[in-house]
A and B are shown apart, each in its own frame.
Chain A
Amino acid sequence: MKQRAVWSAVLVAGLALTGCGSATGSGSSSGGSDKKLVVWDWKSGEASSAQYVEKAKADFAKKHKDVEVEFVAQPFDQYYTLLGAAIQSGKGPDVILFNGGGQIRDRVDSLQPLDEYVGEDRQRLAGWEAFAKGGKTYAAPVTLQGHPIYYNKALYEKAGLDPAKPATTWAEFIANCGTITKATGAKCFALGNKEGYGIQFFLSAMASGVLTPQEYDNWIAGKRDWNSPNVKRLFELWKETGTAKLNNDGANSTAMFNDAFAVFQSGKAAHIIGLMSDIGHWKDFNEFVTPEKLGVMTAPTVTSGATPSLPYDGGIGYAVAKWTKDPKVAADLVRSLTSTDALKAFYANAGAITADTTIDVSASGPAVTTIVGALKTGKPAPHVALSSKSLDLMGRLSQQLLSGSTSVDEVVKQMAASDTAG
């Protein structure tokens, strides 16, 4: 029995440690040869992406007839674990799909800078910053991801408010929420903060209404003053949504995906800070909140001198691994994957705001038109600029703020420490 304990322990540790080894075991799918490129993503397996992949492949075949392309769809919840193992072994795929921000920046050591290959696409595509580090670009954007504040026009009407004129200041916003809750029983915000995503969305959506443009730009550039009154104000607003009972009950145990979205869709909350692409966005909501009932508003102004703007970044983008045989060919595949034709298919089928700003979106309803119209003045989302470690910490601290077990001062202190360390 002692032996059993020992062996069980050895087995457990062995499994935990060899997890890396077994993950790379999908031999054929990693490491392309001269005539073959292997692409890793979590999209190509979905029916809604089939046409996109097809178009991109056709475009690439025009340039390189003799090179075979293999798409390997990995499960998203294990994607970065599998990828980490592949990177560790130095024998991963040639072209890799990444989320913008921390996920790609943490791994640029294993990626090929693409600046010399994608010059022609610079103007046509938006959202490059999310895939850049140290002045170099490591991936070409496919979709844009951002955090519009969606609202339910039907609830506004029911409460006697003008759905065409959402609040422009925080005070007005709170007053409107009060009216809506009184008239319809619906909460102000649908919030899911179980995984700590709620604060990320909130921070990004509200920041442009609180920070001055200069502060905002400094934040994105990495010069973040956590002790400034406006940064503290952001976290105070977050705390206020809890104390003033603006959120749905049990926000800390509600999953953002997809319980919080369900709260909004079912009309139990008037607003939600959602996404632009992939999930939790206009197309998803349209199932219950029809396109004409779905509004998008800019962030309410909290401090004078702030200019509200849409927070968005490159959402997902394709990068080229350092170990690929011919970076030029791999970069050409990336260019095909971000060609206008391919992206048009992606927008139409998967319901994403793509990085290509030349695509016409007027058919999808007013919310989408508002979003795309706001892209020009939009700025990178503040939470994307933070490291994964700081985001993880912020998630936990935000839960403490909601439950009242910590203070804003303590939160900014810990965030400042984590931000400078990371």
Chain B
Amino acid sequence: MTIGKSLPSVRSASAGRAGGVPPSAPPPRDRAVSRRAAGGRRAEQLAPFVLVAPAVLILVLLRLWPLLLGVNFSFTGDGDRDGAMVGFANYVDLLHDPLFQQALRNVGLLVLLLPVAVAIPGLLATFIYLRVPGHRFYRSVYFFPAVLSPVIVGAIFNLLLSFDGPVNVVLSSVGIGPVDWLGDPDVAMFAVVGVHVWATFGMALVVFLAGFATLDAALLDAARVDGASLAQVIWHVIIPSLSRTIQFVFVTTMIGMLTSMFGLLYVMTSGGPEGSTYLPEYYIWIQQGQMNRPALASAASTVLFVIMLVVGLLQLKLLRRAGRED
């Protein structure tokens, strides 16, 4: 889009300059000079293309071309049928694989949990903005987990959540039976998502704080003068003013959930128990690395790409409509 917009503006500027008489241009004397001038004009016309070429080339060569190769690869076979075109066979396989279905169901679960994952940093940022006691301390503490690698976070929570780990010890001391956090298929996905939110909300929090910096303080004062409660201030002043920030956090959080939970899954559950914590990216890795089915993995990647595209666009559309109503 940036490229699309910049092209005509650059061209019209250069055309204008070539059409007028530049003060420093020498008057035409003979053919050679005019030819040179024509060459210069052409060079000037070409200049914008040359200038945007590196960006376009990088995008095409390193992003679009591999994407197309991958999509193309997903229509070929694995193993005995390596390299042969198999049409949609891989996609049919995917649809019939209960593991991939589970992975897609988990994506659905993530979408449902998304508002929670956005609300937590949003609320905490609001409290910090409203200067609750100790807000400076919280601001740095909240961000701390965001600098830890998922592998470290996973290892820490593996210890905490293990069957005989400290969390269960605390629970049993208050009379709640031990929960097999990472071994119970009904609990494990929530445990991993919880840890992911814990590990990443700091980044969203910072984005929210940046959003608050643009908030018009006069509106807040006006609301207070009018006697609005905290809930009313949040609902009628803060949320509408921050709608763009919220949009941004929604999309980045969703992308983060779908694409960067691999480390946590790998360390904490290995997709288990009973395959209950599979996500498409983990499925892709298993198929490519463990099952030796790279073409099937490509098909899964393509599906994940389409899901991301659809979910992202839908979210933007919904949020934009909500923003307009305000």
Contacts and interface: CB of A to CB of B under 8 A. Distances in A.
Interface of A: 1-14, 16-21, 78, 80-81, 84-85, 88, 106-107, 109, 194-196, 249-254, 259, 388-389, 392, 395-396, 399-400, 403, 405
Contacts of A196: 272
Contacts of A81: 285, 288-289
Prevailing SS type, chain B contact patch:
helix
Nearest to B66: A18
Given A2-B313, A16-B301, A252-B273, A392 B291 contact: yes
Contacts of B80: 109
Contacts of A17: 66-67, 69-70, 73, 298, 301
Nearest to B301: A16
B236 to A, nearest CB: 24
Nearest to A103: B292
B180 A12 contact: no
Given A10-B63, A250-B162, 8 more contacts: A17-B66, A17-B73, A84-B289, A109-B80, A249-B164, A254-B162, A254-B183, A405-B185
Contacts of B66: 14, 17-18, 21
Interface stretch (B36-44, B120-128, B199-207, B247-255): B247-255
B292 A13 contact: no
A10 B70 CA distance: 12
Contacts of A1: 244, 247-248, 251, 316
Contacts of B241: none
B294 interface: yes
Interface of B: 1-2, 62-64, 66-67, 69-70, 73, 79-80, 82, 99, 162-164, 178, 180-185, 188, 244, 247-248, 251-252, 255, 258-259, 269-270, 272-275, 281, 284-286, 288-292, 294, 298, 301-302, 304-305, 308-309, 312-313, 315-316
B259 A12 contact: yes
A189 B1 CA distance: 62
Given A84-B289, A252-B180, A194 B62 contact: no
Nearest to B182: A253
Given A17-B67, A399-B273, A254 B163 contact: yes
Prevailing SS type, chain A contact patch:
helix
B291 A250 contact: no
26 contacts: A1-B247, A3-B1, A5-B251, A5-B308, A8-B251, A8-B252, A8-B312, A13-B67, A13-B302, A14-B62, A14-B63, A16-B304, A17-B67, A17-B298, A81-B289, A84-B294, A194-B182, A194-B183, A252-B180, A252-B184, A253-B182, A388-B290, A389-B291, A395-B272, A400-B274, A405-B274
A17 B181 CA distance: 33
A1 B312 CA distance: 10
A363 B286 CA distance: 41
A294 B118 CA distance: 54
Given A84-B292, A194-B273, A9 B312 contact: yes
Contacts of A10: 63-64, 67, 305
Contacts of B188: 253
B288 A396 contact: no
Closest 4 CB pairs of A and B: A250-B163, A17-B70, A253-B183, A5-B312
Given A14-B66, A81-B289, A253-B163, A8 B294 contact: no
Contact of B286 (A4, A109, A250, A392): A392
A249 B292 contact: no
A400 B188 CA distance: 14
A195 B272 contact: yes
A364 B162 CA distance: 35
A165 B153 CA distance: 46
Contacts of B286: 392
Nearest to B266: A77
A14 to B, nearest CB: 5
Contacts of B247: 1
A194 B304 contact: no
